[in-house]
Structures are given as structure tokens and as C-alpha cells.
Amino acid sequence: MPQFWCGIDWSETRHDVAVIDREGVAVAEAQIMETPEGLKELLRLLSGLSTSHRHSRKQVPIAIETGRSLLVAELRKAGLTVIAINPTIVARYRGRVSPAKKRKSDRSDARLLANIIRTDGHLHRALPASSEQAFALTELSRAHRHAVREQQYYVRRLRSQLRVFYPAAVQAWADLPKKILRAEARALLHLAPTPAKAAKLTRRQIADTLTAAGRIRLVNQQADRLYEVFRQRQLHQPPAVEETMGTAMLATLDFLDHADRLVHALDAEATEAFLAHPQAKIYLSFPGVGSVMGSRLLAEIGDDPKRFASPRGLKAYAGVAPLTWSSGGSRSVTHRRVANKFLKGTCHQWAFSSLTRSPGARAHYDRRREVGDRWSAALRNLAGRLLSCLHYCLQNDVLYSEEIAFPPTVVDG
């Protein structure tokens, strides 16, 4: 059992540090900057807590309200145990010290953080000991996810702008995959940003633009179709207003082009990093898991073999394990809202995509629907089953087997 516990109240400019002993008495306090000198000062403070030759700074657990700062990264490289505690939890612990709702100071919060892990350390988990490769993949995967969201935002914004003054551009690709996100659609909008300019395009101009955008098949047929679409009679804004709207639309189109390039670049980089990881083959063996889905799963789960002792812990972390509320004579079972939101969303997509790629997954989903689960609850249950299988495969370094994951004799309750 540790003899000392450290709490760090993190801020943008300086950090308050407090170390307490087994009695909860503060034995050392300091203020450090997030600099190499500040890090050395903190390490010296932790090393000098005891004169015993058995004492090591690595024996002092450290509680902090963030897990992504430079200070945390350096402390972990130094081999120290770092426990990230959600600020909401810290705020609730303040009520044990004072009934005042707005009582807060950096110094007292540092002591409070240390006391939290002194008294309830068994309830809080240290940051996972995942590899540098896994942490890098986490950053890449989340950056790719954010880029996709930006891309979708600008697609919706572009469509909203076009509907006001250029409905033919919305209709032209409405029945094709990716719609106005298609490279040929964006190229034609750059060439003709207003309906008046689009009506003046020749078939040859349209065909050349489609070819330059990467279209290979049925170029002339598509050029003829778009030529007729742009010449159909449409309602128009006043000429000056239409020209201004076209200029605004081009600005949005530039943002969309940039977001689309980022999505493809990050996708390629995340895929390369994922395929280079030793566990990639296990993830890719599962139904419905490709390079993007696999990289997102590995990025959020990590590769620390001791992080989740059982499938139950992994499912709770992903938000797919049911949560039971019981008080007096009332009892209800609901889904978890407090979870890793990135992993939870990825598991939902994974379960959905597995329905057409795994007969066992489809049968499991159908059975859950038959017993009364709504589609979202049935998908969560299926995601929990898949995560249990993934946990087993990762722990035992084996590939997915449909016969073992969904044996025909098993009847799910």
C-alpha cells in the first residue's frame, strides 16, 4: 500500500501540487509550471518525501483532472502511476469537505484529488499502459472522425445554400451515391457556380469536366443528362442576388474540398498505422470490421492486456452493458449514458454492419427483436456479444470464429 498520495490541480498556466500521507495530512505542497524545470521540481518533490532507501517516487499515485496534457505524458514516461479523475466527480467530492456549493480553490482541490485516491483509490483506474503505437493511432482515429464530421457539416451547408438559388445542382446528383459530395459534382459547381452559368455550358465542357474529375464510364451519357438538367426551366433569384449567392456557395465549396482532402489523408494514415499493429489481424477477422472500423476500435480500446480484466468491464466502458437502477420497490434496467462516446458510437456502427456479414449476428439481433427489444437495444446487445468475443480473442491471441461466437445450439435470453 502506498504511503503517500499526490494530487495536481491542473490549469493552463500553473499547477498546484499537494502530497498527503496515510492520515490525510498534507506533507508537501508546491506550484509548478508545465515546463522541463517544473517537471524536475515535481519529481524532486516526490523523491524527497521519505529518507528510506525503499522509497521511490514511482510508489506515489498521482491524481489529476486530465489525461491528455504534456505533464501527464511526461509523468507516464517517467514510470509514475497517473489516475485521471473526471472534474464532475471532483466537484461532487467537494461536498464531503464543505457544504458551500461554490467553494473552490486550486490549493484545496489539489489536496482533494490526493484524498480521493487515498480513500477511494480502488474505485478509480490508472491510465492504461497502452503502447506508443496505440496512443498514436488514437490521435489519428479521432482526427479522422472529426474530419468526417466537418465534411458532413459542409455537405449539409452546401446543399442548404443550393436549394435557395440553384435547385438543379441538388437534383442533378440526387440519385447517385455521395450526391453533391461526388468529385464530378464539385468540379461542375466550381465551373458553373450559378444556374445562369450552368445553362450556358456545352456538352463538351460538361464531358471534359467529368473526365478531369475522374469519371471513366458513361461520360457522354452523363454529360447529356446534366446538359438537359441544367437547361430545364427553374425559378431564379434576381441576377445580382444570384451572383452573390454563387460567390458564397464557392466559399463553402472550398471548405468542403479541404475537408474532403483531410478525410482521405487521415484515412490513409490511420489505416497504415492500424495495419502495422500486431493486433490488426484479430480485429479484421471479425465480421463488419474493415480498416476504418478496426482502427477506431483499437484506438479506443488500446492494447494494454490488463486494462479490462473481464468482458463486463469492456462492455461497460463502451456503454453497451445494461445499467440497473434499484431503489426501494422500484427497479429499472436502462442503457449507459456515461461511457466512452467514441467507442460507443463505433460499436453501434459495428453491430449494424455485422448484420449482413454474419449469419450468427443476424440471428442474434432477430431473437432480441422477437423478445421485445427495440432496434437500438438489440444492436447494443449484439455489440456486447461481439465485444465479449473480441475480449476473448485479444486475451488469447486467436482469430474470430463464427462457429464459436454464435453456436447454433445457443438460445439467447
State the chain's mean pLDDT as an integer: 92
Q: Can you give the pLDDT at residue 104?
A: 66
Residue 122 carries which side chain, given as an amino acid letter?
H
CA atoms of 11 and 116, how far apart (whole Å): 19
Q: 234-242 long-range CB contacts below 8 Å, 24 or more apart?
A: 234/167, 234/168, 234/195, 235/167, 236/165, 236/195, 236/196, 237/164, 237/165, 239/196, 241/165, 242/165, 242/194, 242/195, 242/196
Count of the separate structural domains present in the chain = 3
Whether residue 411 has pLDDT greater than 60: no
DSSP 358-392: -HHHHHHHHHHHHTT--HHHHHHHHHHHHHHHHHH
Q: Can you give the pLDDT at residue 72?
A: 93
pLDDT confidence of 402, banded at 50, 70, 90? Answer: very high
Q: Are residues 12 and 64 in the same domain?
A: yes
Q: Are residues 147 and 261 in the same domain?
A: yes
Neighbours of 65 (CB within 10 A): 19
Whether residue 196 has pLDDT greater than 90: yes
Virtual torsion, Cα 297, 302, 307, 311, nearest 10 deg: 20
DSSP 298-355: HHHH-S-TTS-SSHHHHHHHHT-SEEEEEETTEEEEEE-SSS-HHHHHHHHHHHHHHT
CB 400 within 8 A of CB 285: yes
Structural domain range at position 262: 136-273
Residue 38 lies in a domain: yes
Tell me: the pLDDT tens digits for 120-163? Answer: 999 898 999 999 999 999 999 999 999 999 999 999 999 999 99
Residues of 4-35 as b/e, b for ≥16 C-beta within 10 angstroms? bbbbbbbeeeebbbbbbbeeeeeeeebebebe
Tell me: the pLDDT tens digits for 315-373? Answer: 999 999 888 877 777 787 777 788 899 999 999 999 999 999 999 999 999 999 999 99
CB 85 within 8 A of CB 94: no
Q: Can you give the pLDDT at residue 333?
A: 76
Q: Can you give the pLDDT at residue 220?
A: 94
Q: Are residues 391 and 301 in the same domain?
A: yes
Q: Of 246, 273, 300, which closes a domain?
A: 273
Give the relative orientation of helices 291-301 and 132-165 as an angle to the nearest 10 degrees: 130
Residue 385 lies in a domain: yes
CB-based contacts of 23, cutoff 8 Å, min separation 6: none
Sheet of 82-84, strands arranged across: 26-33, 14-20, 5-9, 62-64, 82-84
Q: Are residues 47 and 101 in the same domain?
A: yes
Enter the C-alpha cell of residue 288.
463488419
CA atoms of 105 and 9, how far apart (whole Å): 9
pTM: 0.87
Residue 11 lies in a domain: yes
Q: Are residues 237 and 264 in the same domain?
A: yes
Residue 99 carries which side chain, given as an amino acid letter?
P
Residue 411 lies in a domain: no
Whether residue 410 has pLDDT greater than 60: no
- Give Cα separations from 387 to 309, 321, 328 (angstroms): 13, 10, 33
CB 25 within 8 A of CB 118: no
More confident: 325 or 274: 274
pLDDT confidence of 168, banded at 50, 70, 90? Answer: very high
CA atoms of 66 and 69, how far apart (whole Å): 7
Residue 237 lies in a domain: yes
Residue 412 lies in a domain: no
Q: Are residues 176 and 234 in the same domain?
A: yes
Residue 122 lies in a domain: yes
Q: Of 239, 254, 273, which closes a domain?
A: 273
Q: Are residues 288 and 333 in the same domain?
A: yes
Residue 161 lies in a domain: yes
Spacing of C-alpha 372 from chain mean position: 30
Q: What is the CATH number of the domain that holds 118?
A: 3.30.420.140
Distance in angstroms between the alpha carbons of the first and the last residue of the chain: 42
More confident: 398 or 91: 398
Tell me: the pLDDT tens digits for 5-47? Answer: 999 998 888 899 999 999 999 999 999 999 999 999 999 999 9
Whether residue 413 has pLDDT greater than 50: no
Q: Of 247, 273, 299, which closes a domain?
A: 273
Q: Are residues 295 and 361 in the same domain?
A: yes
Q: Are residues 54 and 115 in the same domain?
A: yes
Q: Can you give the pLDDT at residue 234?
A: 87
Neighbours of 369 (CB within 10 A): 15
